[in-house]
Amino acid sequence: MILEPTSNTGCRDCRDGVEEPFPFTMAFQPIVDVETRTVRTYEALVRGPENQPASEVLAMVNEKNRYAFDQACRVKAIRLASELGMVKTGARLAVNFMPEAIYSPSGCIQKTLRAARQYKFPLDRLIFEITEHEPVRNTAHLKSIIKEYKKHGFGIALDDFGAGYNGLSLLAELDPDIVKLDARLIKELHLRPRSQAIVRAMTELCKSLDITVVGEAIETVEECEALQACGVHLMQGFFFAQPLFEGLPEVTWR
């Protein structure tokens, strides 16, 4: 997609917005605090209009529609979260974003800001997640995005940490507020002492950097207890709630 420059925002699409490239919607899954038994955040997870999995939706994203899709994801997540009453719960909203889809950090954020105003969603309750499953080709550009987002009060999360391309080097370069430990590190954590040592070390490291740690893909009580023993109390996974299609799921406390 060729972005047409303007004098104010970097591209006309950033200023005026673009249409949704194909039909999709969102499911929501909570991130819980196991110590206080509260929902801290709901993550917006892309789904097809008939609840098709994210993989089918993401397979339709290409170079030509990536910008439009990224923009539409933000607006749809904010709109649905507002309509579902998320603001009243006190929880935050986490949205995945594609750094490669952002041309101008200050320009491309305008549609997100307008959506937040339109649907009365507080800016400081928005979190943007960077996944490690895609390589960061331009760290300087990503740092400029994070700097711009933090100016508006957004939280920044580094998703799937420990599974992707950059690992600790990306953590050293960026300034995230949250690190989400990858599912493969958590799987059967109670049976893997070496992984437990890594999680404990990561938790202590992040604490020293004032970064919050979240454990992902918790499926069993044993994994939950092992994470707690490592100092992690924010968790996400089927053990607590499965993603709910266009809804906020009830949490099972066990």
In a domain, 49, yes or no: yes
Asked if residues 129 and 102 have their Cβ atoms less than 8 Å apart, the reply is: no
pLDDT confidence of residue 30: 98
pTM given for the model? 0.90
Q: Cα(236)–Cα(59) distance, rounded to whole angstroms?
A: 25
The answer to whether residue 19 scores a pLDDT higher than 90 is: no
Please tell me the predicted confidence (pLDDT) of residue 13: 56
Query: What SS3 state is found at 226?
Result: helix
* Domain total in the chain: 1
CATH of the domain at 69: 3.20.20.450
Domain annotation covers residue 36: yes
- Per-residue pLDDT, 162: 73
Do the domain assignments include residue 11? no
| pLDDT over threshold 70, residue 14 | no
Let me know if residue 189 belongs to a domain: no
Q: Are strands 92-96 and 38-47 parallel, antiparallel or unpaired?
A: parallel
According to DSSP, the β-strands at 244-245 and 234-235 are unpaired
In a domain, 77, yes or no: yes
User: Band of the pLDDT at 36, cuts 50, 70, 90?
Assistant: very high
On whether residue 158 sits in a domain, the answer given is: yes
The domain of 57 spans: 23-179+232-245
What are the tens digits of pLDDT across the range 80-126? Answer: 999 999 999 999 999 999 888 888 889 899 999 999 999 999 999 99
Whether residue 160 lies inside any domain: the answer is yes
**Residue 103: which of 59, 155, 138, 61 has the closest Cα?**
138
119 within some domain: yes
